[in-house]
Amino acid sequence: MPHAFQKCIHPDCAAEYDLGQTLPKCPKCGNLLDIVYDWNRLPLPDDPKKLGIPPSSWPAGGMGALSGVWRFGDLIPFAPPEKRVSIGEGHTQLRRSPNAASYAGINKETFRLQYEGLNPSGSFKDNGMAGAFTHANMVGAKVAACASTGNTSASLAAFASASGLMRAIIFIGDGKIAYGKLSQALDYGAVTLLVKGDFDDAMARVQEVSAMEGIYLVNSVNPFRLEGQKTTMYRVLEGLGWEVPDWIVCPGGNLGNSSAFAKALYELHDLGLIRKMPRLAVVNSSGAPTLSRLVNQHGLTWNGGRPDEKIIADYYAHLDSSGEKAHTLASAIEINRPVNLRKCLRALDRTNGVALDVSDQQILDAKAWIARDGLGCEPASAASVAGAKALVEQGVIDRDSSVACILTGHQLKDPHATVAYHSFTEEKLRESYGEFGVATSAFANHPIRVANSVDDIIDNIRRATAAQ
Ligand code: F0G
């Protein structure tokens, strides 16, 4: 048996494929694939503190040597080191955040934010793209594509131009992308297709087109993407001295990240490298609540790998017949048909996890508190803290629990809603964002209009600083 292979997640199929194949889904049954390792044949330390090459001892030279993903290469061992691709991703931080902690109602000593916005393209997607590009490099792909709400496409475009290994083609729902992200894809030279429709349409089309044209697909149906995304969990645990937190809270869109997090955690647990499993909370926006609704209202579960497919089919049929489209100002997670739904059900099962949804108002309010600790994130990321707060209020998360919320994307990705929140009157805010249910900006830091006069400026500075 080889040391790593691809395997269908459905227990009745469980077909295996070698690493050299490029398969967006199981050719036998159409389900998602996992990367599975024969850990007995792979060298791993018995003490987790010995995992991960510490930054101070990284070898000099070569992009891969500087990667916060590949320094955990022992835990994602599907590629020979010389095939690894990196743009210096994964230099992210686990930070304390006293303001966000008090807003969420959690002890500031036990609350942390994992700031993945520090990645080279400004989001966690670079972790996964390092994995997908490495596999693409192994199989000699020359063209790669994705559908995206913006961050995956920015990451793909950056990797393609930085590595020079392949051309990038991106499928965007026309008008469904924040400008920060669109500007990245255009600037990095990706072939940028604005598909008339939304993300769910773009996702369906890219799967068809890439299969027909033999294009390498880097969306998170690609199991190698998720191997890279496991490393966020390693960095959280490393930041906590390998003390396992009680909760990991992350936003949910296409549900790749949550699926990858759980895989990282249960692999470590199965290997005896951590002794307890954190619980995972996956937070949808109420404008795109598929996971939350299916789990909480329709009782959908992993069910040993055989989720009730009728519940899912009926839900999607209802979306079609009612014309209900995803609609949230957290555009990164504006997704109604998450491709990793089944893997995420497994993630919830393996971590005793929960799903919930929060309103766009809750998201923007949480975002303002996160930023008070000097951590800027885009709206979708703030769903994590908004979700943690909601779970504290529901009595699910205890005040003294140790909690790590994942900030998935940088503030500068999508500054429009931020500027509106802080500078619009509430009337103008309702006019612009009322369609998303945003009516107030209770935690706004209003800019001050001053005359072009030293006296007026000093007067305003004194009043503003005295008020604090
Ligand atoms: N946060 C941000 C900033 C994202 O860009 C995404 C997904 C998510 C959270 C949700 O993560 O899909 O793994 O559940 N963005 C994708 C994209 C869909 O195309 O960039 P997920």
The number of C-alpha atoms within 13 Å of 290 and in the hemisphere containing its C-beta is 30
Ligand 1 mean position, distance from CA 253 (Å): 5
Give 63's pLDDT tier (boundaries 50, 70, 90): low
Q: 117 in helix, strand or coil?
A: helix
Residue 51's pLDDT is 86
The burial class, CB within 10 Å (0-12 / 13-18 / 19+), for 2 is exposed
What is the spatial distance between Cα 106 and Cα 237, in angstroms, rounded to a whole number?
19
Instruction: Report in angstroms the alpha-carbon separations of 317 from 128, 310, 321, 336, 337.
Output: 31, 10, 6, 12, 11
pLDDT grade for 65, boundaries at 50, 70 and 90: low
Confidence of residue 315 (pLDDT cuts 50, 70, 90): very high
Across 189-205, average pLDDT: 96
CB of 254 sitting under 6 A from ligand 1: yes
For residue 33, report the phi and psi dihedrals to the nearest 5 degrees: -110, 150
Ligand 1 midpoint to CA 151 (Å): 7
Q: Name the helix (H) or strand (E) containing 205.
A: helix 199-213
Residue type, 467: A
DSSP per-residue letters across 351-409:
HT-EEEEE-HHHHHHHHHHHHTTT--B-HHHHHHHHHHHHHHHTTSS-TTS-EEEEE-B
Local structure of residue 230 (DSSP, 8 states): T
The response to whether residue 333 sits with its C-beta less than 6 Å from ligand 1 reads yes
Q: 290-312: per-residue pLDDT in tens?
A: 999 999 999 999 999 999 999 99
pLDDT category, 57, cuts 50, 70, 90? low
- Of 64 and 14, the structure prediction assigns the larger pLDDT to 14
3-state secondary structure of 49: helix
- Which are the contacts of 132, defined by CB distance < 8 A and separation ≥ 6? 144, 216, 218, 222, 224, 225, 228
- Answer whether 446's CB lies under 8 Å from 426's CB: no
Is any atom of ligand 1 closer than 6 Å to the C-beta of 379? Answer: no
Is residue 273 predicted with pLDDT exceeding 80? yes
Q: Residue 191 in 3-state DSSP? A: strand
Share above pLDDT 70 across residues of the chain, in percent, rounded to a whole number: 97
Ligand 1 nearest atom to the CA of residue 378, by list position: 3
Q: Write the residue with the smallest CA distance to atom 19 of ligand 1.
A: 148
Residue 8 clears pLDDT 90, i.e. is over it: yes
> Given pLDDT bands bounded at 50, 70 and 90, which one contains residue 64?
low
Distance 254 CA to ligand 1 centre (A): 6
Nearest residue (CA) to ligand 1, atom 6: 332
Q: Does residue 2 carry a pLDDT above 80? A: no
State whether the beta carbon of 203 lies less than 6 angstroms from ligand 1.
no
Position 130 pLDDT exceeds 90:
yes
Considering only CA atoms, which of 85, 81, 84 is closest in space to residue 160? 85
Average pLDDT over residues 423-439: 96
- pLDDT at position 56, please? 60
Note the pLDDT of residue 62: 52
- What is the pTM assigned to this prediction? 0.96
Distance from Cα 440 to the centre of ligand 1, integer Å: 26
Lowest mean pLDDT among 1-5, 19-23, 164-168: 1-5
Residue 3 has pLDDT above 60, yes or no: yes
* Both structure tokens of 327: 């609609």
Q: Rounded to whole angstroms, how far apart are CA atoms 450 and 237?
A: 47
Q: Is the pLDDT of residue 61 over 80?
A: no
Contact, 168 vs 160, CB < 8 A? Answer: yes
Is the predicted pLDDT of residue 53 greater than 80, yes or no? no
**Helical axes 256-270 vs 341-351, angle rounded to 10°:** 40
CA 424 to chain centre: 29
What whole-number distance in Å separates Cα of residue 308 and Cα of residue 302?
A: 8
CA of 443 to the centre of ligand 1 (A): 26
Q: Which atom of ligand 1 is nearest to the CA of 155?
A: 20
- With a 6 Å cutoff on the Cβ, whether 257 touches ligand 1 is yes
Q: Residue 316 pLDDT > 60, yes or no?
A: yes
CA distances from 351 to 1, 46, 247, 267, 302 (A): 29, 22, 9, 12, 12
Judged against a pLDDT cut of 90, whether residue 390 lies above it is answered with yes
Q: How far apart are CA 317 and CA 253, in angstroms?
A: 19
Q: Which helix (H) or strand (E) holds 321?
A: helix 309-322
What does the DSSP 8-state code read for residue 377?
A: B
What pLDDT, in 10s, does the model give residues 398-407?
Answer: 999 999 999 9
Among the listed ranges 49-53, 151-155, 187-191, which one has the minimum average pLDDT value? 49-53
